[in-house]
Amino acid sequence: MNKKGWGKKIAVAPYTVWMALFVVVPIVLVVYYAFTDQSGALSIQNIRSILDYRETFFISIQLALLSTVICLLMAYPVAFSISRMKAYRQQTMVMLVMLPMWMNFLIRTYAWMTILEGNGLINRFLHLLGFEGFNMINTNGAVVLGMVYNFLPYMLLPIYTVLTKIDKSTVEAAQDLGANRVSVFRRIYLPLSVPGVISGITMVFVPAVSTFVISKLLGGGKKFLIGDIIENYFLGSTGSINYNIGAALSLVLMLLILVSMTVMNHFDKDESAGFM
């Protein structure tokens, strides 16, 4: 092997070691604990116990999908509007979108607890207007709101990035051929922005379906999501800790995420093939 080949191997070695230690080894441990009991003997009982949490999986997927759809409906018009601004204004708007992300995730979620609680800012404002307050905290709606607020930038930024890369000459050519604004959006912007939409959906759905902090703080622990169950089995009270069941649930959640990403990539490839 020549010196250039050895140089590439040496350059890649740190990343290979990193991936092995922090990706491969954890996955191997999860699989090991998922298929063994507490004595270390092989067992599929942990996998069978997953059926006891099928309702939790359903609720987690339902809330994650709802949050993803809301993020998409909110992010796309904003990203489209920003992409059509002048360059210096785009930079300002992108900075404003990213500004909340500079704050700690827990602090942002705690802030929403203060806003949504019974004596929070929203209910105080309603009382000033003469209306009765209503319960917002510790509901599924509050959990969805927390997900949308925390993960909205992950939807907006990929869409914005793709929209800004669309060649303006393509749009001008369509307009020269008689296309109006609706036709330009439907035939140019919308199809070419699909890769950004796919990336945004993936980046929002994956953390939303596995979250546990948002559901614990804004949901009040009334309805556990799958992330809460896993967290409880690994970091709960002494009597509730069970690495084996927690690993089995983590394995199923990991497979669910991989399936969703595979489906999204499949749609992305189909759209790309349609443009060629």
Q: Express each pLDDT in 177-199 by its tens digit.
A: 888 888 888 888 999 999 999 99
Give domain status of residue 42, yes or no.
no
- Virtual torsion, Cα 3, 8, 11, 13, nearest 10 deg: -110
User: What are the φ and ψ backbone dihedral angles of 27, each rounded to 5 degrees?
Assistant: -65, -40
CATH of the domain at 79: 1.10.3720.10
More confident residue, 271 or 217: 217
CA dist 42 and 251 (Å) reads 16
- 127 Cβ contact list (under 8 Å, min separation 6): 133
What is the pLDDT at residue 2? 59
Give domain status of residue 125, yes or no.
yes
What is the extent of the structural domain holding 195? 57-229+250-274
Query: Would the pLDDT of 6 be above 80?
Result: no
Instruction: Return the closest-CA partner of residue 249 out of 227, 216, 223.
Output: 227
CA dist 118 and 96 (Å) reads 29
DSSP SS3 for 42: strand
More confident residue, 240 or 270: 240
The rounded radius of gyration (Å) of the Cα atoms in the chain is 23
Task: Provide the H-helix boundaries in the chain.
Answer: 3-19, 25-34, 45-48, 54-83, 87-98, 105-116, 121-128, 140-164, 168-176, 181-184, 190-192, 194-210, 213-218, 226-235, 243-275
What percent of the chain shows pLDDT beyond 70?
Answer: 94
- 72 Cβ contact list (under 8 Å, min separation 6): 155, 197, 200, 201, 204
DSSP structure class, residue 49? G
- Number of domains, the chain: 1
189 burial (CB, 10 Å; 0-12 / 13-18 / 19+) is: buried
Give domain status of residue 111, yes or no.
yes
Of 19-33, 119-133, 180-194, 246-260, give the lowest mean pLDDT range: 119-133
Give domain status of residue 265, yes or no.
yes
Tens-place pLDDT, residues 20-78: 898 899 999 999 999 999 888 999 999 888 889 999 999 999 999 999 999 999 999 99
Structure tokens at 58: 């359903």
Give domain status of residue 214, yes or no.
yes
This prediction has a pTM of 0.87
Ramachandran region, residue 180 (left: φ > 0; alpha: ψ -120 to 50; beta: rest):
beta
What is the pLDDT at residue 270? 55
Our measurement of the distance from residue 178's CA atom to the centroid of its chain's CA atoms, rounded to an integer in Å, reads 40
Give domain status of residue 156, yes or no.
yes
Tens-place pLDDT, residues 212-231: 889 989 988 777 899 999 99
Mean pLDDT, the chain, as a whole number?
87
